[in-house]
Amino acid sequence: MSIMVQGLEHSVFSSSSQGSGSGVGVGEQVRRLLADYGCGSADRVMWFRDDLRLRDNAAFEWLCGGGVGGKPASVVAVFVLESQQGSRPLGRASKWWLYHSLFSLTRDLAQVGVPFVVCAGDSSVVVPELVRQLGARKVAWSRRYHAPLCAVDASVKETLKQRGVVARSCAGFLLTEPWQVRTNQGGDYRVYGPFSKKAMQVLEQERIDAPTSLSHTVTADLSAVRSSVGGREEATMAAVDGLCLLPAQRGEPAWDKEFAQHHRPGEIGAWARAEEFFRTIGTRHGDDGYACGRDFPSKQVVSGLSPHFRFGEISPRVVYDQVIGVGGQDALVFCKELLWRDFAWHRLFHNPLMEVECIRGEFEQYPWARFPLELDVVYRSQPAGSRDEFRLVSEQFSTPGSDFVAWARGTTGISLVDAGMRELWRTGVMHNRVRMVTGSLLTKNLGIDWRLGEQWFWDALVDADLAANPFNWQWVAGCGDDAAPFFRIFNPDTQAKRFDPDATYRKEFIEEFSTPSYPPPLVDLKESRRCALDAYRSL
């Protein structure tokens, strides 16, 4: 299928490698696409994926280094919204983020005169074809670590190699690559404690071995880069629009109306947030420091960097080095949190089916409620506050289904859970402690399969991450690697008393907090806890 977008009709390719529904082959589609951008030829191609930044981007730096025969190199950048089998389609909130991040990168690339080709399709076909038509001799990208995506990259590399094109992949998405941190026997880690200890040793060794390469003042020598054709910013913007990443472009209600108040996607936004965090980690200590304060959702002590890491707008190594350099307990605790991200990817690398299968196989027998999740129905249901309409929608579901809608829309009558789910809905993020509490209520008190919660978070989080999301859901449900023991069931009321003692957080997100219109609890916490433990013992 090819669609018409503000005069640019070639940005969405058929998912088939053979051609579009209109019968035009990929080769012809790419030719037209490049014509839209006015791109004739280029020496080099940078394939951007989850590394939407120019600073501290090793692949981009490598590509931009040196010219060709004494002349500056000409570089074309490309981003493909991948549609091939095996790539998990982005959730709605992530699409919102991507839209703005691509705009930001478009502007940054335009400033250095690099044309940025944006399209959708099967990257294993589109990228080699684009390289061929441009006549490029060098291609670079940042590595990724999920098996189906690794397979795509390997196939692209092989195709390019056969044509004599040099393809180089570089690290940059994580602090440590999943195979870098190994047990003394050479195996992978399943427990976080020893993993983080070893990972910190690896990072320290890298710092000793190559101190200058980690200074992070190096950015690509952009003066050596000149586009042979000049930037076509408008063409890129039209192509980004053509991807239909925003709810309004798909005719959905404006669930994103508050997002821009909370987030600034893109490299500049990532640095603004990081610099603010670098200032606070060195100046706030004790109860208000990161180590203690990070568990309190109303204290603004966490970094808020997760969506920026997710889209690679800032490198985790820059942040790690800067924070560890501050010294002290708060800095150390933060760096260890950052290593949970690496651990999740380490586990996904060794368990590519983590999103669909319980790591601890016996949990497949747990009697969790499962039902087909129709996210559109949840989106159409009324937000909190309109109970009558909400009931109308939930009547379409079985009891567990309607419980799920109540959970997703923040109308369970359990205040910390409702505040978290409404925070997620309104802002696209949720505080970590509240993610744990909401996940526990869904899987243990409401008895609903963790995979349904994972899907909702995948759709609603701007930081939805291929590894961190299923990894943490399995952690909460008790069936994952180094997971919370099943019998440790969070009591949301006790958690609220402890971490939101004056209800500041709950009042921020629940307008009708403590009023008669706030619903009664959907579930008896004690009784449901007892049922969950009985079911667990029967495994």
- Chain residues binding ligand FAD by CB under 6 A are 294, 302-306, 309-310, 337-338, 340-341, 344, 432, 435-436, 439, 457, 461, 463-465, 468-469, 472-473, 476
Nearest to 467 by CA among 477, 487, 481: 481
Closer residue to ligand FAD, CB minimum distance, 84 or 469: 469
- Could you tell me which residues come within 8 angstroms of residue 535 by beta carbon, excluding any fewer than 6 positions away? 366, 367, 447
Distance of CA 369 to the CA centre of its chain: 27
Least separation in angstroms between residue 354's CB and ligand FAD is: 12
Minimal distance in Å, beta carbon 431 to ligand FAD? 6
Q: Smallest distance, Å, CB 457 to ligand FAD? A: 5
Cβ proximity to ligand FAD: between 243 and 460 the closer is 460
Closest CB to ligand FAD among residues 128, 297: 297
| Bridging pattern class, strands 166-170 and 75-82 | unpaired
**Residue 345 is encoded by which pair of tokens?**
């990817």
User: Among 494, 495, 384, 375, which residue's Cα sits nearest to residue 436?
Assistant: 495
- In one-letter notation, the amino acid at residue 115 is P
Q: Which two tokens stand for residue 77?
A: 């950048």
Q: Output 120 or 460, the one with its CB closest to ligand FAD.
A: 460
Q: Can you read off the two tokens belonging to residue 55?
A: 């600073």
Strand partners, 514: none
Q: What's the min distance (Å) between Cβ of 8 and ligand FAD?
A: 32
Residue 276, number of CB atoms within 10 A of its CB: 13
Q: Which is nearer to ligand FAD, 137 or 198 (CB)?
A: 198
Name which of 58 and 270 has its Cβ closer to ligand FAD: 270
* Structure-token match 């939407």, residue found: 52
Shortest spacing between CB 440 and ligand FAD, in angstroms: 9
Measured from the CB of residue 149, what is the shortest distance to ligand FAD in angstroms?
A: 16
Pair 37, 119: CB distance under 8 Å? no
List beta partners, residue 141.
169
Q: How far is the CB of 300 from ligand FAD (least distance, A)?
A: 9
337 exposure class (CB count in 10 Å sphere: 0-12, 13-18, 19+): middle
Query: In this complex, which beta carbon is closest to ligand FAD, that of residue 44 or of residue 435?
Result: 435
Residues near 122 by beta carbon (within 8 Å), at least 6 away in sequence: 13, 15, 16, 17, 82, 83, 84
| Least distance between ligand FAD and beta carbon 266 (Å) | 16
Nearer to ligand FAD, 294 or 299 (CB): 294
Residue 115: name the closest of 28, 30, 224, 234 by CA. 234
CB of 379 to ligand FAD, least distance (A): 19
337/508 with CB nearer ligand FAD: 337
The distance of closest approach from Cβ of residue 535 to ligand FAD in the complex, given in angstroms and rounded to an integer, is 20
Looking at beta carbons only, is 206 or 337 nearer to ligand FAD? 337
HSE toward the beta carbon, residue 67, CA cutoff 13 A: 11
Q: Which amino acid is at 191?
A: V
CA distance 60 to 220: 7
* Beta strands at 116-121 and 75-82: parallel, antiparallel or unpaired: parallel
Closest CA to 384 of 503, 246, 529, 522: 522
d(CA 189, CA 346): 8
